[in-house]
Chain A
Amino acid sequence: MYVRDLKTDFYDRIQQQRLLILVSLDVDSLCACKILQSLFQCDQVLHTIIPVTGKQSLERAYLENSEGVKFVLLLNCGATFDIIETLRPDDGVVFFICDNHLPVHLNSIFNQVQVQILGKEDDTENLPEFTDLFRDSDDEEDEEEVRRPVFNRTHHITLQDDSGDDSDSSQPKRKKFDEKSLMKKRDKRLWEQKRRELVFQYEEFSKYGTSVAFVMYELAWKMSKDTNDLLWLAIVGITEQYVNGKVERDRYMEGLQFLQGHVSRLNHWSEDEENTLSVDCLRISFETELRLCLFRHWSLFESLCHSQYTACKFKVWTLKGKKRLHEFLAEMGLPLVQCKQKYSSMEVHLRDSIKEMMTKFIEKYGIHEHDLFLPSFLASYGYKNRFCASDVVRVCATLLESMEKDVTPSDSFFRALDVLNRKCTSVMEVGLEQAKLQQKAIVTQVQSFLDMNQIISAGPFLYALVQEGTPDGKYFSNPLCLVRLARFTLEAYCAMSKNKRVRNLPLVIGASLDSDLGVMLVAGIPPISDSKCINCFGKAFEQAASSTNSRVNQDSFDSHVMELKTEDRSKFFDALISLLH
């Protein structure tokens, strides 16, 4: 059930009890978690926070910590599958689900008591009517053998996914001529068929809804507990969604506009000359940001070479592309010496005029202003710390998938949580360095894909595999990084390929996860031309796996990322090709 008023139906309800919060490992949920923490600190709501990596770890965490817990909050996890069926909680336990993964499982939407969904109801599309999904069981009491949706005592509804079409044969003979019952049965069959279609339509594509950090910020705002810090977290949340291609630009702009109002409301201080704020306070300003990764903390040249958009436009992995890039810089009048040193040590007048110069010259190089510039926000505190939202996202994501030895995912969760804390500048610096390394690894991998012609067109989709034993291969055993590599690869391939058709092809990418166990990680992303950010691979993977009996593990909350036994690779991909044809 969707919660209508977050404050009365969610926040006021959980005040008295200890709350268990299960958080998935992604940047958006980290931000939401941080916002909630500060709210709970104000109102002294006791809570326990446990990071979870996948469905199995969610189950384990719930089992271990469920004792005496009446309310459970799930951040960015738990919406896409039947949570009640999976966790089998006691009757009194209520799950609040705040998840940007769509579609939300139908049982969760129609469960009135135990599942409460915090989020925007308008995010869901193709939602079937209740009457099309569940039939009243009263008029069918005589047909016991027909399995049907039932209401059990907790009002929890059991969905039926498998078909009950073979039930006719067991029917006693005398009933065969009973016209009334035959009609009833026919009705029922038709209804079931329609229902299956509706459910399929609803679940076919996976996509992302409103950022959870955004939802939590709205809650904070409604309770007048919003501060600049919380606002910054919400900004990071929505930026993460856009930067990682989870939502389309229009949706991002919508959120941005809403937040911009808040930014000007909470940051009007600095304009007034008399009551200026101390430099140590957080200040957020609206800025049209260059979409160059980490350029404030790197050199401009490196950043141009490693950012997805510019690298693909200039094709920096070719000699010609490198030349064009140099030409571009020369035309703008930026000396190479300046470009190759740290951005912070560049001469001030050059630094100030970069944006202006770029807008002047990019058109000649086929770069669109719309793509190179992104309206975003900049946070500054103290003299040294200036971060743009997308850089914070990148650092945070890198720390979440730390490559260091003996660091468990939950260790890195808390490291990443610390980064969002303004006072931990040392962690931030470590994170920045790691993020650069990761970005370099991605670019090197993309280049080797292109050089070795490893991106293969399999008909309905493109397909690339990170070779085992690649030095940077360890980076790509993490889902977030793998998806980023996939997006970079697809864009680079489209830029290099002369064939226009490739823009309409999705990409499936695979990387070894654990060579000892023979497991690989597979991720699928939608084609470049797709502007709606909907992903069909969740269902496709599931069907391909079940039709070939491949050993897969769809443990991740993102359905388009899954683990696959390396031995089953070829038959799985064969099935996937025939399925998508």
Chain B
Amino acid sequence: MFGLKAIELIKEAKRSQEGTLPPYNEEGIRKVLEEMRALFEQNQAEVNEALEGDQDLFVGIQIRHVALEQNKRCILAYLNHRLETIKQLRWELGSVLPQDVKQNLTTPEAQWFSKYSKGLAKYMRSLGNQGGVDLTLDVRPPKTLHIQVRCLEDHGEFETQDGNIILLKKNSQHFLLRSECEHLIRQGILEHIIT
């Protein structure tokens, strides 16, 4: 039946966890494209025959055309889903992606990512009076300015905005400015303690 492979792609995208990027399914995409090419060639041939007067062929052409459209939508949805995920990753992980995530990107995707990063950085710089505003911080409005964090691994010294130096050593608990330690929490060095 037509369109099965495309549906597989969609299912795969749906199965992947929120916020994670599975490897680009090149094999799947290629198979769908092959199917589409076959459909298209068959249609081309039959359209020519139909124009010569064979009325019975129109039904088949119609069906193949719908299948073609369906496949196209599925592929676009798959790609768009990946694009949105990559965009989300930029907001969550920052402009440098971890190695394991990077490996799952195709070359065009990686190019798009760096362009998107650049664009975003440029926009953030232009905001505010000088220095710009980091929009990736505080995606949701924070409840408190300071938070309790516990150190999960030895990180070494960390200089806070007010010039104090704090030693982030495994198993110490600190009460810090949220904005300062948010990126450390994302990196998994600190753990936010909710009481």
Residues of chain A touching chain B, judged by Cβ–Cβ distance below 8 Å, are: 18, 37-38, 40-41, 44-51, 64-65, 67-68, 408, 410-411, 413-414, 421, 423
Contact = CB atoms under 8 A, between A and B. Distances in A.
A37 B171 contact: no
Contacts of B164: 18, 67-68
Interface residues of B, number: 20
Given A18-B164, A67-B165, A68-B164, A44 B172 contact: no
Listed from nearest, the 7 A-B pairs whose CB atoms lie closest are A410-B171, A49-B173, A68-B164, A48-B174, A47-B175, A50-B172, A67-B165
Contact of A421 (B167, B172, B176, B195): B195
Contacts of A44: 144-146
Contacts of A421: 195
Given A37-B148, A46-B146, A421-B195, A414 B171 contact: yes
B76 to A, nearest CB: 45
B169 interface: yes
Contact of A51 (B145, B148, B165, B171): B171
A38 B148 CA distance: 10
A45 B176 CA distance: 9
B175 A64 contact: no
Nearest to B145: A44
Contacts, number: 56
Contact of B171 (A18, A64, A413): A413
Contact of A414 (B145, B166, B173): B173
Interface of B: 144-146, 148, 150, 163-167, 169-177, 195
A41 B178 CA distance: 12
A64 B167 CA distance: 7
B184 to A, nearest CB: 14
B167 A41 contact: no
Nearest to A417: B173
B173 A41 contact: no
A493 B145 CA distance: 57
Contacts of A413: 171
Interface centre among B163, B165, B173, B174 (most CB of A within 10 A): B173
A41 B165 contact: no
Contact of A41 (B148, B150, B163, B172): B148
Given A38-B195, A421-B195, A48 B171 contact: no
Given A48-B175, A68-B163, A410-B171, 12 more contacts: A41-B175, A44-B145, A45-B175, A46-B146, A46-B174, A46-B176, A50-B172, A50-B173, A408-B171, A410-B170, A410-B172, A414-B171
